[in-house]
Amino acid sequence: MKKHFLLFFITSITLIISEGCSYDKESILYPENACDTLSQSFSNDIFPIINNQCVSCHSGTTPSGGFLLNSHSTIKVQVTNGKLIGSIKHISGYSSMPKNSPKLSDCRIEKIQAWINQGTLNN
């Protein structure tokens, strides 16, 4: 009887320990769909998002609201005055963008915010 109890005890402890370590698995710590916000590049990461979602209205001779978003320098103006972040995060007091379309995904907003935090570089 004592032997059985000892065996049960050891098995339980082994199970608890192996379960406790399951989060060491790389796939759990670093899921493939994690949002990459490290060293964002204007030309590779940021401009493609804006080109896709914003440039159709914010370009040409009569851009929507009078705001151009078709180059690094015109985008930077809207970053510096706070309107770009205000509009994409739907902060009250700003017009929500993209107008009449769903909000950008959290990952896209995080990437734009990271690029601004990293210095709004033209890289």
Q: C-alpha angle with apex 17: 13 to 20, nearest 5 degrees?
A: 140
Return the residue of 12, 39, 51, 95 that touches ligand HEC, per CB under 6 A: 95
The two structure tokens encoding residue 7: 């065996």
Q: Which stretch binds ligand HEC (CB under 6 A): 1-9, 13-21, 28-36, 48-56?
A: 48-56
- Judged by beta carbon, residue 41 or residue 94, the one nearer ligand HEC is 94
In whole angstroms, what is the distance from residue 57 CA to residue 48 CA? 15
Total residues at interface with ligand HEC (CB under 6 A): 21
For Cα atoms 50, 102, 36, give the angle at the middle one, nearest 5 degrees.
Answer: 55
Q: Which C-beta is closer to ligand HEC: that of 22 or that of 62?
A: 62
Does 88 help bind ligand HEC (rule: CB under 6 A)? yes
Site for ligand HEC contains 56 (CB under 6 A): yes
Contact residues for ligand HEC (CB under 6 A)?
A: 53-54, 56-58, 64-65, 67, 69, 78, 83-84, 87-88, 94-95, 97-100, 104
